[in-house]
């Protein structure tokens, strides 16, 4: 991994325009368009901004929402959870702790024993097969 970008200009150069919009501007990708949505291989999902390990394939499930969904982070220390009030909703934002990139949101309606649904933009993730 190259050095962490320090300015928004550097981030723009590193990321695709879609990744920049999601990670740096808290955007949301169009559902059912992400390349990792239906990925079922074994491995780890890393931050597409900085490479930090975020989610394991063991925790991925099909939520039907059109975004990759996980029932818990690989390592809670690698993500930051923050209340947000955008779009007249109170939600909990999920960020990458290392680079501060916006990943998605977490909801309390998950179908597994954790009860959580981490709803994550596919373009905020890279996949490493294990």
- Among all residues, which ones are annotated catalytic? 119
Please list, in sequence order, all residues whose beta carbon lies within 8 angstroms of the beta carbon of residue 64, skipping any fewer than 6 positions away.
none
Residue 50 touches Fe ion, criterion: CB under 5 A: yes
Residue 52 touches Fe ion, criterion: CB under 5 A: yes
Residue 79 touches Fe ion, criterion: CB under 5 A: no
Residue from 37, 79, 95, 96 touching Fe ion (CB under 5 A): that is 96
Strands (E), the chain: 43-47, 53-56, 60-61, 69-70, 79-84, 91-96, 102-107, 117-120, 125-129
Residue from 93, 99, 107, 126 touching Fe ion (CB under 5 A): that is 99
Identify any residues that bridge with 128 across adjacent strands, giving them in sequence order. Answer: 44
Total binding residues toward Fe ion, as defined by CB under 5 A: 8
Residue 44 touches Fe ion, criterion: CB under 5 A: no
Residue 73 touches Fe ion, criterion: CB under 5 A: no
Q: C-alpha 9: how far from its chain's center?
A: 22
Q: Supply the minimum distance, in Å, between the C-beta of residue 99 and Fe ion.
A: 3
């Amino acid at each position: 991994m190259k050095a962490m970008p320090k300015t928004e200009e550097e981030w723009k150069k590193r990321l695709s325009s879609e990744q920049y919009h999601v990670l740096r501007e808290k955007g949301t990708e169009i559902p059912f368009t992400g390349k990792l949505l239906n990925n079922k291989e074994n491995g780890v999902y890393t931050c597409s901004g900085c490479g930090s390990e975020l989610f394991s394939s063991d925790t991925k499930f099909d939520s039907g929402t059109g975004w990759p969904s996980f029932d818990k982070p690989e390592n809670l220390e690698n993500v930051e959870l923050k209340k947000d009030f955008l779009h007249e909703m109170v939600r909990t934002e999920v960020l990458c702790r290392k680079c501060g990139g916006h990943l998605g949101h977490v909801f309390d309606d998950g179908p597994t024993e954790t009860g959580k649904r981490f709803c994550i933009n596919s373009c905020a993730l890279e996949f490493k097969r294990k």
